[in-house]
Amino acid sequence: MTSQPFHHGNLRAVLLERAEAVVRERGADALSLRELAREAGVSHGAPRSHFIDRQALLDALAVQGFDRLTERLRAAREAGRSFEDRFHRLARAYVGFAVDDAALMELMFSMKTTGSTPAVADAAGRMFDVLGDALAKGSTTPPHPVDGERFGLVFAAAVQGAAALVTTGRVSREQGERIVDDAASMLLRSELGARVLGGRSDAR
């Protein structure tokens, strides 16, 4: 444990952990495999046993990020006491994550990462599923599928956009939260929202 054994033991986990810290602090561009290896006390070629590519490491980070965001969204969904409450909680959880982990968020949604591996696409899909499920569960009558999807997409866009405005420094975090609150309120009170909700505004 003290002097390095030949086998590091959990190099993969250490690399992921340190890599995420670097991304968070200095951005994905600043991530260097060799620097990571040095910090972990292994040779510069060692990471290759666990990540064939630099991009493979970034992909793994993105998957981890999506999974963590998914978990937070799930928690927000559970904590919601009404449909509207759940709605606002989801939005805030999403924006909060985007603000706290802005660099990671940028990585997760960068073109080279998002489209690269099925694993990343799947993780992103699971995240969006939670968003969609949370909406579907709200209405007593199953929502019209088309309306439901449109509704979910507009919601996703608003939240994603608010997050982008915040992370790029265009608006403050408080403004970002107010944006999603406003957007959520508008959505719920719109015609489309009414149809999705099946005529009720406070389903449980």
Partner DNA sequence: CAACTTTCTAGACAGTGTCTAGTGTCTCCG
Partner DNA sequence: CGGAGACACTAGACACTGTCTAGAAAGTTG
> Quick check: 9 binds DNA (CB under 7 A)?
yes
Query: Which amino acid belongs to residue 41?
Result: G
Question: Is 11 a residue that touches DNA (CB under 7 A)?
Answer: yes
The verdict on 118 binding a second copy (CB under 8 A) reads no
Q: Structure tokens of 193?
A: 């929202």
- Residue closer to DNA by CB (options 61, 183) is 61
C-alpha torsion 158→162→163→165, nearest 10: 140
Least spacing, CB of residue 102 vs DNA, in Å: 21
* Unique residue bearing structure tokens 């993969």: 12
Which pair of tokens denotes residue 183?
Answer: 């957007």
Asked if residues 26 and 36 have their Cβ atoms less than 8 Å apart, the reply is no
Residue 168 or 201 with smaller CB distance to a second copy: 168
Q: Which of 131, 183, 196, 197 binds a second copy (CB under 8 A)?
A: 183
In the complex with DNA, the residue whose CB is nearer, 54 or 72, is 54
Identify the residue among 53, 100, 122, 182 touching DNA (CB under 7 A): 53
127 binds, among a second copy, DNA, none (CB under 5 to 8 A by kind): none
In the complex with a second copy, which residue's Cβ is closer, 7 or 191?
Answer: 191
Choosing from 74, 99, 133, 161, the residue that interacts with a second copy (CB under 8 A) is 161
Closest by Cα among 24, 159, 153, 130 to 71: 130
Residue 116 touching a second copy (CB under 8 A): no
Answer left, alpha or beta for residue 144, where phi above 0 means left and psi between -120 and 50 means alpha.
beta
Q: Which residues, numbered 138-157, are part of the site for a second copy (CB under 8 A)?
A: 150, 153-154, 156-157
40 binds a second copy per the rule CB under 8 A: no
| 3-state SS assignment for residue 165 | helix
Sign of CA dihedral 171, 176, 181, 186: positive
